[in-house]
Amino acid sequence: MKPAISSVGAAPSALSRRSFLQRAAVAAAAITAPTLIPASALGRDGTVPPSERIIMGGIGVGNRGSGVLSNWFLPEKDVQFVAICDPQKARREKIKQMADTKYGNNDCKLYSNLREFLAERTDIDAVLSAPGDRWHALAAVWAMRSGKDIYSEKPSAMTIAEGQAVVETARRYGRVYQTGTQRLSETAFMVAYELAKTGRLGKVHTAYAHIAPWDEAEMRHDWLPGEDEPPKDECDWDQWLGPCPWRPYNVAYTRGAWRGHYDFHTSCIGEWGAHTFAQAMFGLDLLDTCPVKYEYVHNISGDGMVTTFANDAKMILSRGDKHWRGSCGMRFDGPEGWVGCADGYSKPDVSSPALLADSKKLVGDYVARTGRPVGGNGHARNFLDCVKSRHQTVSNAVVMHRSMSAVHAANICMWLKRDLTYDPVKEEFVNDAEANRLRSRAMRAPYMF
């Protein structure tokens, strides 16, 4: 049986001459007319073509994360933010509105379950991760295993073991990782690092690192009174807790009251030390290791604790404004001078104005040597550039792990109330089984590596 002939393929004799000519003209026009392609698809008018765009999603983007997203990632022309995963409905809807307003569409997708989000969105190249501290390392490991690069807010590991897992996962899966220690990419801070590293101060013997002026090193082990859980779509409490031990729901946790609790936090030392230890170690040029000695101090915060590296350089924890003005400060002392910097500085404090005579050249030389951007949204831009080049970021997984190992060792020193010695090669405390047991915490199934 012969197939029926469609009207499109009907013989000309079945048509009037005028109809045939009209159809022929339309067909010819369709073949010869140029195809209209939006300029944005070709990278014209200042846009970036789709082949060069980085498709991004978000994990737990709350107060801090929304600032990072709106100020650093959404303005970048080669970024397309397409999805947000958060167990809290109000937070994910806030981020969707932000993204949709930016792009003038309604395309940002919403997810509440992290495993489902990572498995389903195979189109996503990179994620911004900014949930509470308890989730940072696990979210990074799961994201990297799913083939995504990750920008993780700090503190990026709750324990030494979590840091090890992040480093190993980044290495095994070849993923780009950046932790949100953005002061490693800010101009005034960079001047201070370069003065310390290039010998302008002589051989630096001491660095000071700021710790938070609230909370204590010893954290709470109780929990807030239980309340009725909200509907799961409003707040998925099991997802919110993640790898932490089960605790009854209390709305105050979701509003920041998790700080100061052992299950959720890294103490006043980790709150700012997650930034400032990396800053101190950057200026000492010791980002690939961590201190070996931790000297207990008899106070509630760790203020004044002396930590010592294998080369005898010291990093001293400091609470308050003894060495700087502003938050997240650092200072480097050498035999020929000192330099200090903190948030809000347009230029570092120095022992002699002559040290700042060639500040622009110091920063320019660093940029030329490393290829890393400095200033503005330089930290996020460094991450995006490395997503494309596959180079290591300035705050890569090893940098995060080494600086956070120092945070955890300092905390353990305060908890045990005695001096400790740590081996950065074996990644264990020397002859101290009790301290070694505190290098990890149990993770609640199914929220495990």
What class is the 183-218+265-437 domain? alpha beta
| 3-state SS class at 59 | strand
Which residues 6+ apart lie within 8 Å of 286 measured at CB? 309, 311, 313
| Measured distance CA(91)–CA(60) in Å, rounded | 8
Better-scored residue on pLDDT, 38 or 434: 434
User: At residue 3, does pLDDT exceed 90?
Assistant: no
Q: Which pLDDT score is estimated for 45?
A: 59
Domains of the chain by residue range: 49-182, 183-218+265-437
Q: Which pLDDT score is estimated for 39?
A: 45
8 A C-beta contact, residue 394 and residue 400: no
Q: Tens of pLDDT along 346-364?
A: 999 999 999 999 999 999 9
Tokens of 425: 């090669």
Tokens of 341: 């910097």
Better-scored residue on pLDDT, 46 or 97: 97
Q: Which pLDDT score is estimated for 15?
A: 46
CA 23 to each of CA 10, 15, 17, 201, 330: distance values in angstroms, whole numbers, following the listed order: 12, 10, 10, 83, 77
Tell me what the pLDDT averaged over the chain comes to: 92
User: At residue 290, does pLDDT exceed 60?
Assistant: yes
Q: Tens of pLDDT along 64-75?
A: 999 999 999 999
Q: Which pLDDT score is estimated for 20?
A: 45
| Measured distance CA(99)–CA(55) in Å, rounded | 13
CATH assignment, 49-182: 3.40.50.720
8 A C-beta contact, residue 268 and residue 212: yes
Q: Tens of pLDDT along 181-219?
A: 999 999 999 999 999 999 999 999 999 999 999 999 999
Q: Tens of pLDDT along 10-47?
A: 333 444 544 544 554 444 444 444 444 444 544 555 67
Q: Which pLDDT score is estimated for 33?
A: 45
User: What strands lie across the sheet with 79-85, from one edge to the other?
Assistant: 109-111, 79-85, 54-59, 126-129, 149-152, 177-179
Q: Which pLDDT score is estimated for 47?
A: 74
Q: Tens of pLDDT along 230-259?
A: 999 999 999 999 999 999 999 999 999 999
Q: Are strands 206-211 and 330-334 parallel, antiparallel or unpaired?
A: antiparallel
